Amino acid sequence: MPPEIEQQIARLREQLQRASYAYYVLDNPIMEDGVYDRLYRQLQELETEYPEAIAPDSPTQRVGDRPAEQFVTIEHNVPLYSLENAFNLDEFVQWQERWMRHINLSIDESWFIQEEASQPDAPVNPPGDRQILTSLSYVCELKIDGSALALTYENGLLVRGATRGNGTIGEDITPNVKTIRSIPLRLTGKEIPERLEVRGEAFMSLDVFAQLNQERTEQGETPFANPRNAAAGTLRQLDSRKVAARRLDFFAYTLHLPETSNLPKTQWESLQWLENWGFKVNPNRAQCWSMLAVRAYYDRWEQERHQLPYLTDGVVAKLNDINLQTELGFTRKFPRWAIALKYPAEELPTVVKSVTIQVGRTGALTPVAELEPVQLAGTTVKRATLHNPDRIAELDLCIGDTAIVRKAGEIIPEVVRVLPELRPPGATRYQMPENCPECGSPVVRVATEAVPRCVNPSCPGIVRGSLLHAVRRDALDIDGLGEKLVQQMVDRELVRSLADLYELTVQDLMTLERMGQRSADKLVKAIASSKTRPWHSVLYSLGIRHVGNSNAKLLCKVFSSAEQLSEAKIADLEGVYGIGPEVSGAIVEWFQEEENQRLLQRLRESGLSLHAEVEPSPSTSTASSIAGKTFVLTGTLPTLTRSEAKTRIETAGGKVTGSVSSRTDYIVVGEKAGSKLQKAEELGISQLTEAQLLELLG
List residues with catalytic annotation: 143
Would you say 109 and 285 are in contact if contact means Cβ atoms under 8 Å apart?
no
Triad 416, 422, 426: Cα angle to 5° = 110
Would you say 350 and 402 are in contact if contact means Cβ atoms under 8 Å apart?
yes
**For residue 227, which of 38, 384, 412, 377 has the smallest C-alpha distance?**
412
Distances (CA, A) of 224 to 29, 103, 376: 9, 44, 20
Would you say 243 and 577 are in contact if contact means Cβ atoms under 8 Å apart?
no
Would you say 554 and 518 are in contact if contact means Cβ atoms under 8 Å apart?
no
**For residue 534, which of 624, 454, 643, 634 has the smallest C-alpha distance?**
643
Residues annotated in the binding site for NAD(+), as ranges? 33-37, 82-83, 141, 164, 201, 318, 342
DSSP-assigned beta bridge partners for residue 321: 266
Measured between alpha carbons, how far is 90 from 341 in angstroms, rounded to an integer?
A: 10
**Quick one: residue 546, left, alpha or beta (phi over 0 = left, psi -120 to 50 = alpha)?**
left
DSSP-assigned beta bridge partners for residue 616: none
Distances (CA, A) of 632 to 253, 279, 281, 654: 22, 16, 15, 11
CB proximity list for 474: less than 8 A, separation 6 or greater: 537, 540, 549
Backbone angles phi, psi at 390, to 5 degrees: -60, -40
Question: What one-character DSSP code corresponds to residue 421?
Answer: G
Residues annotated in the binding site for Zn(2+), as ranges? 436, 439, 454, 459
- In whole angstroms, what separates CA 289 from the centre of its chain? 31
- The beta-strand segments (E) located in 409-490 are 412-418, 443-444, 453-454
Measured between alpha carbons, how far is 589 from 544 in angstroms, rounded to an integer?
A: 9
Residues annotated in the binding site, as ranges? 33-37, 82-83, 141, 164, 201, 318, 342, 436, 439, 454, 459
User: How many of the other CB atoms lie within 10 Å of CB of 485?
Assistant: 20
Q: What is the 3-state secondary structure (H, E, C) of 498-550?
A: HHHHHHCCHHHHCCCCCCCHHHHHHHHHHHHHHHHCCHHHHHHHCCCCCCCHH
Would you say 695 and 668 are in contact if contact means Cβ atoms under 8 Å apart?
no
**Quick one: residue 409, left, alpha or beta (phi over 0 = left, psi -120 to 50 = alpha)?**
left
